[in-house]
Each structure stands twice: as structure tokens, then as C-alpha cells.
């Protein structure tokens, strides 16, 4: 069994904890508690144990989030698609990730699609084109489960067949992470 660590990071309030919660079949809750430190759950799929960690996006816990995500094998960067600041939040967290981790695959998740139509904002489009992007709503557990099923399957496929690498690296010009290389 290989263990594979996935970290959910992003701005506070974007829905990271809700996503992890509905993945665990807990009911959606508008009054979900703010995350302090790091929570996690585990899933077994084929040769992998996937450990999914939920982090805090609050400024006062940013350092602990940064420290903990150094252990990640993949980062899910969650943003609130209905927020006017979505672009700034993605940019901010991409910077934090780039500064604090080695080259690592990143998957973007635009959450809260129930609240707004997907913002096909040019700025966001430009920023996200190098990344795999999923849309979710924590009110729709299927959208969350489908996203994780997809990500798990991509990782399993990449492991079983090195040529079939579906998750793009953080930067297309950084090729050292051959596991996920998109070339």
C-alpha cells in the first residue's frame, strides 16, 4: 500500500471543510465550525491509501497550513466561484504554495456553483488554463464525490501507467516531477 497525501487549501470560507465533510457522508451545514489546525480522513483505493487533509485558510493559522502542506503529494486549491475576489484568492494561494512546497501537482476546485453561474471571467480563465479544474457544490455531495473519484483515478492511472499522466504539474516548464509530467 502506498500512502498519498492530498491537502485541501485555499481562502477561508471557500468551502474546504464542507467538501471534506460531505465526502464523509455528513450532512451539509451552513454553520460548520471554522477549521483550527488540520483535520483529515483516509480512503483506500486499489494500491493506495489516500489521506485527505483539511487546512485552515485563516491568516492566524497560515503558517501551520504552510508547514503542513510541505508533506503533500497533491494540493487541491479550493476557491469560492461566487466570490468577487476569487481571482485574487487563487493567485494568493498559488503564490503561497509555490513558495512553500517543492514542485507539486495542483488541482483547482471552484466550489459553491449552486450560488452562481461559473464565472468565465477572463482573468480566471488565464490563470487556470494550466491546471485541472473541477466545479463542486457542497450542497451536492455527488459533485464532491465525483471530483475525488476523478482525482483518485488519475493518480492510480499515473501510477499504473507512467505514460498516462493526467494531472498536470504546477508549472509546465518544471519537469522534474516525472510522475505527473504532462509531456
Ligand X SMILES: Nc1nc2c(ncn2[C@@H]2O[C@H](COP(=O)(O)OP(=O)(O)O)[C@@H](O)[C@H]2O)c(=O)[nH]1
What does the binding site for Mg ion look like in residue numbers (CB under 5 A)?
A: 16-17, 35
Output 96 or 138, the one with its CB closest to ligand X: 138
Output 32 or 162, the one with its CB closest to ligand X: 32
Nearest Cα to Cα of residue 130 among 68, 180, 71, 65: 180
Q: Does 13 bind ligand X (CB under 6 A)?
A: yes
Radius of gyration of the chain (CA): 15
Q: Does 39 bind ligand X (CB under 6 A)?
A: no
Output 33 or 183, the one with its CB closest to Mg ion: 33
Residue that is written with C-alpha cell 494540493 in the block: 75
**Residue closest to ligand X, measured at CB:** 15
Applying the rule CB under 6 A, the residues between 71 and 90 that interact with ligand X are: none
Q: Are 46 and 158 in contact (CB under 8 A)?
A: no
In degrees, to the nearest 5, what angle opens at C-alpha 137 toward C-alphas 134 and 141? 100
Output 118 or 172, the one with its CB closest to ligand X: 118
Q: Does 101 bind ligand X (CB under 6 A)?
A: no
Which of residues 57, 105, 141, 169 is near ligand X by CB under 6 A? Answer: 57
Q: Does 69 bind ligand X (CB under 6 A)?
A: no
Quote the DSSP letter at residue 181: -
Shortest Å distance, C-beta 172 to ligand X: 28
Q: Are 78 and 16 in contact (CB under 8 A)?
A: yes
Applying the rule CB under 6 A, the residues between 115 and 154 that interact with ligand X are: 115, 137-139
Residue 36 binds what, of ligand X, Mg ion, none (CB under 5 to 8 Å, by partner type)? none
Phi, psi of 106, rounded to the nearest 5 degrees: -125, 135
Measured over the CA atoms of residue 34, residue 38, residue 42 and residue 43, the dihedral's sign is positive
Q: Does 12 bind ligand X (CB under 6 A)?
A: yes
Q: Give CA separation, 47 vs 25, 38, 168, in Å.
A: 23, 25, 21
Q: Does 27 bind ligand X (CB under 6 A)?
A: no
Amino acid at each position: 500500500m502506498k500512502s498519498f497525501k492530498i491537502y485541501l487549501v485555499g481562502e477561508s470560507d471557500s468551502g474546504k471543510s464542507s467538501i471534506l465533510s460531505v465526502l464523509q457522508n455528513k450532512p451539509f451545514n451552513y454553520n460548520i465550525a471554522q477549521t483550527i489546525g488540520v483535520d483529515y480522513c483516509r480512503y483506500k483505493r486499489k494500491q493506495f491509501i489516500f489521506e485527505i487533509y483539511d487546512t485552515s485558510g485563516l491568516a492566524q493559522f497560515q503558517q501551520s497550513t504552510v508547514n503542513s502542506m510541505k508533506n503533500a503529494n497533491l494540493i487541491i486549491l479550493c476557491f469560492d466561484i461566487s466570490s468577487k475576489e476569487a481571482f485574487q484568492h487563487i493567485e494568493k494561494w498559488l503564490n503561497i504554495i509555490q513558495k512553500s512546497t517543492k514542485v507539486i501537482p495542483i488541482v483547482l476546485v471552484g466550489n459553491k456553483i449552486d450560488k452562481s453561474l461559473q464565472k468565465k471571467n477572463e482573468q480566471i480563465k488565464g490563470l487556470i488554463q494550466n491546471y485541472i479544474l473541477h466545479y463542486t457544490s457542497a450542497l451536492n455531495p455527488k459533485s464532491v464525490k465525483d471530483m475525488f473519484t476523478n482525482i483518485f483515478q488519475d493518480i492510480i492511472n499515473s501510477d499504473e501507467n507512467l505514460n498516462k499522466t493526467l494531472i498536470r504539474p504546477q508549472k509546465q516548464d518544471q519537469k522534474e516531477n516525472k510522475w505527473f509530467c504532462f509531456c
